[in-house]
Structure 1
Amino acid sequence: MSWLPLSFGAPMVLWGLLALPVIWWLLRLTPPKPQTEVFPPLKILAGVLKREETPQQSPWWLTLLRLLMAALIVVALAEPVFNPREKLPAEGSALALVIDNDWASAADWGKRVATAERLIADAGSNGVPVIIAFTAEKPNAEIGPFDAATALDRLRAAKPRPIPTDRPAVYARVAASLESHPGASVAVLADGLAGQGDEAAFNTLLSSNAARLVWATSDRISLTGLTGADNQVDGFALTAIRAPGDPAPAQVTAGAFDDKGRRIADATLTFSPGESMATGTMAVPFELRNDFASIALDGEHQAGALRVLDESSKRRRVGLLSQSEADQAQPLLSPLYYILS
C-alpha cells in the first residue's frame, strides 16, 4: 500500500485508528484516581474551610496526548516506509531474467545485480518461478525455472566474464523455456553494446508471447578500451577508444606493470572533443619495456581496458658480425649498415 511518498508494509493495521474515538470516550468516562490523604485531626481542622473538588474527566491536553500516543503506536505497527521504491513488473506466469555478464558489464555490475535482486524479490512475493540466464556463460548452463531463493543464489554466484556475449544462443534457450509459461514477464539487463545477430535474437525472445517487457541498460556508455599496445623502436605505442559521439574532451592514464604487479611506467592518452580514438607513447628504454607484463587503463575495471603481454611484445638487441675487411673499411657500403632495426 503506497501513499506517496509513504507506504506501509502492513496497511491492515491502520484500521486500528478507528479505535481512537473509543479510547477518547473511555478516557472521558474514567476520572483520575482519587488522591490518598493521611488522617491527622489538626490538618483536617486547618483545611476545614478549604473546598476540594475532584474533576469528572481528564484534562483535555492529557486526553489529546494519550490519543496521539495510541495513533503513533498504530502507525508504527503498520510498518511505514518513507519514499518507497516503485515495484517492478514481475507478474505473470513466470519471470524470465536475461543478464549480460560479459566484459562490458563489469563497470556497473553492482547496479545490474541490485536491479535483478529487486525483480527476483518481486517475483518471489508474487509466487512465480524465475528463469535466469547469463549471456556470457556456457551454452549448456542451467537456466531454470527456479524458485526465487534459488534464482537469487545463482545471481549472487555469477560474475562478469572477460568474453563477449552469445545472445542468439541464450535468447533462443530462454524463448524455448517460455513456451511452457505463456504470459510471462521478460526482463533484459543489457550492457548497451550491439553484437552480431542481436536483431534476430531479440525477435526470437519476444516471439514467446511475453506479457510485459523490462529493458534496463546504462544511460550512457562510458567504457574506454585499450585496443593497441605495440613495442616500437622509440617507445610503447598505445591506442585507446571510447564510445563515439562524445563532445567532451577526456584524458586517460595507462600504467605498465611487471610480472610482480609493480607499476614501472605510465602514459597519458588524450581524446579530442568528438573523437573516439586516442594515442600515446610510453617513452622508456627498451630494457625496461621488456619487463612489461601488462598494461591497463586507470579507473577502468573491465577486461577491455587491460592488455596482457607475452614474449612477442619484447624487443631484443641483436649484434651482427662480419669477417670482411671491406665492410670495416667502407661501413656505409656494407650490407649490414642498411639492416632495419
Structure 2
Amino acid sequence: MSFLSPWLLLALLALPLIWWLVKAVPPQPRLHNFSSLLLLRRLTQHKQNAAHTPLWLLLLRLLAVTSLILGFSNPVWGPGEQKTAPKNLIIIIDNDWAAMSQWHERQIAFTRLGLKTLEKGGTVRVLLSTRLKNNQWPDIFQTSDPKQFKDYIAELAPHPGNLIDII
C-alpha cells in the first residue's frame, strides 16, 4: 500500500493532543442565586457532572479522526508495476476528440505496453474506436515487430467519433 499524499500522515502525530483535549473535563458550572425568582428556588437541583469521557467513546472518536486522516492521504492498494509482460496483448485505443488533450501521454503508454510484450516475443493487436472517413471500421492492426508497432502508434492521431459505436 502506498499513499498519494503521504505528508498528510503527519496529522497522526496530533492524535495524543486530540486524546488530551477530548479527555479534558470542562470546569464545573458556577452556581448563581436568583433571589427574585421564586420559581427557581423551588426547583430541585440535579447535579450531572461527567467525571470523564467513557473510554469506548474516546476510542471511537480517535478511530474516526484516524480514518479521516488516512482517507485524506489517498491510500492506493495495488500490485504496482507488472513484472512480466503478457504473451499476447490487445490494446483498444480511444482516439476520438476527447483524447486529444492527453494524446501524447497516451501514445507513450501504448508504446511502453506494446514494446514490453514484443520484447518477450509476443504479439500486439491494436483496435481503434473511431471509424474511417468512409464510415468503415479500421482493420485490427497486428504485429510482432517492435519497429512496425512504434511507427503505427506514432502515426495515430485523434479523430472525431464515438466509442459507443464500437461496443
TM-score bucket of the superposed structures, by smaller chain: 0.3 to 0.5
Would you tell me which structure has more strand in proportion to its own residues?
1
TM-score scaled by length of structure 2: 0.46
Taking CA–CA contacts closer than 8 Å with sequence separation of 6 or more, which of the two structures ends up with the larger relative contact order?
Answer: 2
Larger Rg: 1
TM-score scaled by length of structure 1: 0.26
Would you tell me which structure has more helix in proportion to its own residues?
2
